[in-house]
Structure 1
């Protein structure tokens, strides 16, 4: 083999390995939003904004989340997060909302979290929970826009909206997927009715259950008797076989 080709082999292998790592490396993590459980249309939900730290030499010290103006949310309540202070900004609505028979003239337009201490350090992430509602019924998703600020004053804007049929943008905006509306999303009395039905079953259901239990018991007894008979027959067959075996 040509010595020159042999000397080039490690270089080629290394280059190929680097190319594989380059094209197979996962995309950088970004700010996302997910419900705890589900976010049903027309109902209320607890949602978490998940914020990773993508820098090695700085901490995340601030997060600003702007709420959609085309589907405003009247009720937004943050859950306290240790080491962070939170501010909820409300704005006047161009068109009032109607909720529980009352007109709502303003809604939350932005929520801002600011670190009291070190913030989100390199290699860590933080969740910021919110209770929100009433979720709209005329859309399948809510698009939020988030701004992440680092301790070195760097600002990353997660505001690019995903376009259908196109690749994910470099800095995608957090998107909350909404599930189908449920009958009980307004907190009606359906749960009480179900509880009442379960605690007082009708006589037909009780009779059916009793009949099923009797049938299962009878089947078990028959199978037990058949098993015993098969066992006795097997023993008898073995004894007869030994008696018929010629002596040596």
Structure 2
């Protein structure tokens, strides 16, 4: 009897731990994490799970930081959803690729379409919203993308709490895109260019090869000419004799 009670208690405890773990991890996030290189472009997914069992998510809004503005944010088409990109004026214009940029993307809003009983993110499921981002900033290690999730019963969940260093994860953490130092990009291109230059210098060029061929043919022609002259002289001597 005691053994059964212990087993039952252990099973309930394990179930509780799994339930809490599942609840804690079910929040809006950016996937994949930590693979976007500073100063480059990246394609990421905003992953939105449905935490409710009696309502569907019908609207998702992702806000972009104004202190590290992104000039280009392009959403990929998602079946059953419409996407709207909102831009805002910058307090201080940016210069990029020789052009002055006075506005940047401030948010992207996805709205579910279709029949009321079928649209949106249904209970027990999630949806990914792909985004192409660029040019990523070089002076920060992360971008905090605060998100707002709206259900069809008008309930709103604000994923806007920023993680404090050394503190526990907040109840409604904001999605974070971690930026890494660029191992590739311009530096890799420079190395590749250097290798190509070295390979080109080690390999004879087409002009050099052609010049060498011409010289060989010229020498062959001279030899053939000399042989012809010698043959003519010998033939003449035989006729005279």
TM-score in terms of structure 1 length: 0.70
State whether structure 2 residue 98 is matched by structure 1 residue 101.
yes
State whether residues 35 and 46 of structure 1, in contact with CA within 8 Å, keep that contact through their aligned partners in structure 2: no
Kept after mapping to 2: 8 A contact 1:36/1:45: no
Where does 1:120-135 land on structure 2 (aligned, <5 Å)?
120-135=121-136
Q: Structure 2: 5+ residue runs without aligned partners?
A: 204-241
In structure 1, distance between residues paired with 2:188 and 2:96: 14
Q: 1:11 deviation in Å?
A: 4.4
Instruction: Give 1:171 deviation, angstroms.
Output: 1.0
Q: What's 2:9 paired with?
A: 15
Larger Rg: 2
* Residue of structure 2 aligned with 1:78, choices 75, 79, 99: 75
Question: 1:178 is paired with a residue of what secondary structure?
Answer: strand
Deviation of 1:36 after TM superposition, in Å, equals: 9.0
> Which residue in the other structure is 2:54 paired with?
57
Correspondence list, 1:18-167, <5 A = 18-25=12-19, 26-28=21-23, 29-35=26-32, 38-117=35-114, 118-167=119-168
**Equivalence for 2:179:** 178
Asked whether the 8 Å contact 1:68–1:144 carries over to 2, the reply is: yes
* Residues 7-62 of structure 1 deviation map (CA, whole Å, 9 limit, x = unaligned): x6644542342123223432421111124993110111111101111222211111
Match of 1:213 in 2: none
CA contact (8 A) 2:34 2:178 kept: no
Aligned pair in 2 of structure 1 residues 30, 201: CA closer, same or farther (>3 Å)?
farther
CA contact (8 A) 1:76 1:132 kept: yes
* Aligned partner of residue 22 in structure 1, secondary structure: helix
Cα deviations by residue, 1:139-180 (Å, 9 ceiling, x for unpaired): 111111001111222111111111111111111110101111
Q: 8 Å contact 2:34–2:177 — kept in the other structure?
A: no
Q: Which residue of 2 aligns with 1:243?
A: none
Mapped partners of 1:196, 1:56: distance in 2: 62
- Measured in 2, the distance between the counterparts of 1:170 and 1:120 equals 21
Aligned residues: 196
What SS class does the counterpart of residue 181 from structure 2 fall into?
A: coil
Deviations 1:79-125, CA, capped at 9 Å, x for gaps: 11111100001001111111112111111101000011211112221
Q: Does the CA-based 8 Å contact 2:34-2:179 persist in structure 1?
A: no
Q: C-alpha distance in 2, partners of 1:162/1:80?
A: 31
Partner Cα distance (1:171, 1:185) in 2: 38
For the structure 1 residues 106 and 122, does the alpha-carbon distance in structure 2 shift closer, same or farther, using more than 3 Å as the test?
Answer: same
Give the TM-score, by structure 2 length: 0.72
1:190–1:76 Cα change, 3 Å? farther
